[in-house]
């Protein structure tokens, strides 16, 4: 009995090993596919590194300042009229001093009553990002010891840019308050934690947490979506003593090895590009490997489920778009409706970004919630793939 089991296991291992060899042969006859899988990811990281290195700090945001300060202000307490504008020019100086803002034009509404219309037209044309308005009572309020008020009209068509514009305007206010010895009601003192040390490419670090998971998952997915559906001889192989499980295991094993080599290339590229990794490099490798494996699991699942290459491509495209949309890259998971949030929790990329971020920025261990969820999701996909493959009818 035991000997019989041993013999069967030995034969099964032999067949699986030969199938792995066959998979590598098939990979070799399609070298471009392998080049894309192994060389493109490191090349993209290097390209990204050069791109962000040249970019340096983000360019200042173009603005127009419209001042209504010299317009007549009537004090509601004593009905006294004033046209003070002592603080308009100092504020313009502060805007000019700020590295985050680029003053395109300064318009004084007492000289040109259509100042706001001109500024709005520029905003509409996309020549500026925001209009900063100094209101009528600006100097008067500051002189009387009240908090000053600056109005800001932002191009809100791109939601992700709103905060950048507000931050830039705040920067000019900070400079204005400091230069003119004004006392803000609350002073904020910030301390930096987990920041990228000087000498490293900050822009690369800021963006690579999104790029790496997307690239590793996407390429692993693309690499495997056709491996079962396009292999017509599977039906004939099944007329030999080989088992369906051996065919599938050989595919998982082969593409896991490809993934291993791919991740090694990515790690080397990240080191060469000057990426700051707070955690261990092995942790980063482990995180990328897990993300890539979930991509392989997804790819083989699609390949098993599809009846034709076109169907596999369509299914890949549809699933990839949904996975990206619900990954938290565009809308934070917490902001989504609860049903979408729950659905997003079972998608691989939703966990891939926090996993890479935790290693790169925080230096924490990968063996936490996101890693285990990715592991479970991959495992469930593997089980479904095996079931679908077992149920699938192959005829010669």
Interactions with other proteins, residue window 241-270 (CB under 8 A): 241-242
Is 26 a binding residue for other proteins by CB under 8 A? The answer is yes
Is 15 a binding residue for other proteins by CB under 8 A? The answer is yes
Q: Which of 6, 18, 158, 309 binds other proteins (CB under 8 A)?
A: 18
Asked whether 172 and 91 are in contact (CB, 8 A), the reply is yes
Residues in contact with 356: Cβ distance below 8 Å, sequence separation at least 6, in sequence order = 208, 209, 212, 213, 284, 287, 288, 291
Q: Which is nearer to other proteins, 215 or 226 (CB)?
A: 226
Is 193 a binding residue for other proteins by CB under 8 A? The answer is no
Asked whether 298 and 319 are in contact (CB, 8 A), the reply is yes
Q: Which is nearer to other proteins, 238 or 277 (CB)?
A: 238
Q: Which is nearer to other proteins, 33 or 202 (CB)?
A: 33
Interactions with other proteins, residue window 129-148 (CB under 8 A): none
H or E element that contains 130: strand 130-134
Alpha helices in 126-201 (DSSP H): 138-143, 159-179
Asked whether 135 and 69 are in contact (CB, 8 A), the reply is yes
Is 222 a binding residue for other proteins by CB under 8 A? The answer is no
For the chain, how big is the Rg over CA atoms in Å? 30
Is 236 a binding residue for other proteins by CB under 8 A? The answer is yes
Q: Which of 134, 136, 228, 237 binds other proteins (CB under 8 A)?
A: 237
Stretches 9-17, 118-126, 289-297, 301-309: which one binds other proteins (CB under 8 A)? 9-17
Is 233 a binding residue for other proteins by CB under 8 A? The answer is yes
Q: Which of 9, 14, 363, 379 binds other proteins (CB under 8 A)?
A: 14
The Cα 384–Cα 166 span in angstroms is: 48
Which pair of structure tokens corresponds to residue 350? 């939703």
Is 22 a binding residue for other proteins by CB under 8 A? The answer is yes
| DSSP-derived 3-state class of residue 332 | coil
Q: Which of 113, 240, 332, 339 binds other proteins (CB under 8 A)?
A: 240
Is 235 a binding residue for other proteins by CB under 8 A? The answer is yes
| DSSP-derived 3-state class of residue 292 | helix
CA nearest neighbour of 64 among 110, 127, 18, 111 = 127
Q: Which is nearer to other proteins, 6 or 18 (CB)?
A: 18
Number of residues forming the site for other proteins (CB under 8 A): 25
Asked whether 69 and 85 are in contact (CB, 8 A), the reply is yes
Give the distance from CA 54 to its chain's centroid: 20
**Contact footprint for other proteins (CB under 8 A):** 11, 14-15, 18-19, 22, 25-26, 29-30, 232-242, 393-396
């Amino acid at each position: 009995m035991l000997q019989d089991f041993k013999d069967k296991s030995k034969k099964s291992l032999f067949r699986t090993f030969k199938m792995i060899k066959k998979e590598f042969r098939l990979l070799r006859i399609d070298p471009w596919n392998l080049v894309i899988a192994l060389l493109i990811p490191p090349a993209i990281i290097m390209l990204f590194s050069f791109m962000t290195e040249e970019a340096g700090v983000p360019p200042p945001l173009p603005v127009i300042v419209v001042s209504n300060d010299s317009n007549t202000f009537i004090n509601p307490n004593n009905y006294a009229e004033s046209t003070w504008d002592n603080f308009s020019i100092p504020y313009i100086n502060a805007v000019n001093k700020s590295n985050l803002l680029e003053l395109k034009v300064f318009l004084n509404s007492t000289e040109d009553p259509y100042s706001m219309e001109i500024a709005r037209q520029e905003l509409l044309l996309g020549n500026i990002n925001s209009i900063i308005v100094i209101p009528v009572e600006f100097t008067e309020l500051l002189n009387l010891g009240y908090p000053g008020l600056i109005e800001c009209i932002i191009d809100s068509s791109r939601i992700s840019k709103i905060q950048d514009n507000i931050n830039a305007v705040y920067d000019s206010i900070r400079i204005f308050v400091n230069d003119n010895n004004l006392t803000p009601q609350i002073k904020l003192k910030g301390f930096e934690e987990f920041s990228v040390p000087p000498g490293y490419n900050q822009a690369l670090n800021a963006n690579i947490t999104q790029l790496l998971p997307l690239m590793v998952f996407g390429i692993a997915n693309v690499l495997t979506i056709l491996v079962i559906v396009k292999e017509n001889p599977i039906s004939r192989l099944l007329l030999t003593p080989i088992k369906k499980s051996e065919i599938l295991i050989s595919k998982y094993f082969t593409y896991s090895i490809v993934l291993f080599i791919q991740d090694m290339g990515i790690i080397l590229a990240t080191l060469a590009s000057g990426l700051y990794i707070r955690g261990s490099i092995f942790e980063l490798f482990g995180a990328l490997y897990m993300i890539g494996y979930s991509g392989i699991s997804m790819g083989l699942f699609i390949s098993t489920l599809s009846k034709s290459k076109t169907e596999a491509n369509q299914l890949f495209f549809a699933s990839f778009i949904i996975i990206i949309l619900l990954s938290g890259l565009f809308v934070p998971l917490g902001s989504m409706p609860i049903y979408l949030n729950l659905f997003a929790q079972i998608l691989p990329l939703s966990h891939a970004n926090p996993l890479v971020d935790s290693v790169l920025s925080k230096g924490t261990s990968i063996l936490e919630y996101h890693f285990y969820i990715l592991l479970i999701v991959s495992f469930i996909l593997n089980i479904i793939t095996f079931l679908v493959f077992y149920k699938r009818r192959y005829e010669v």
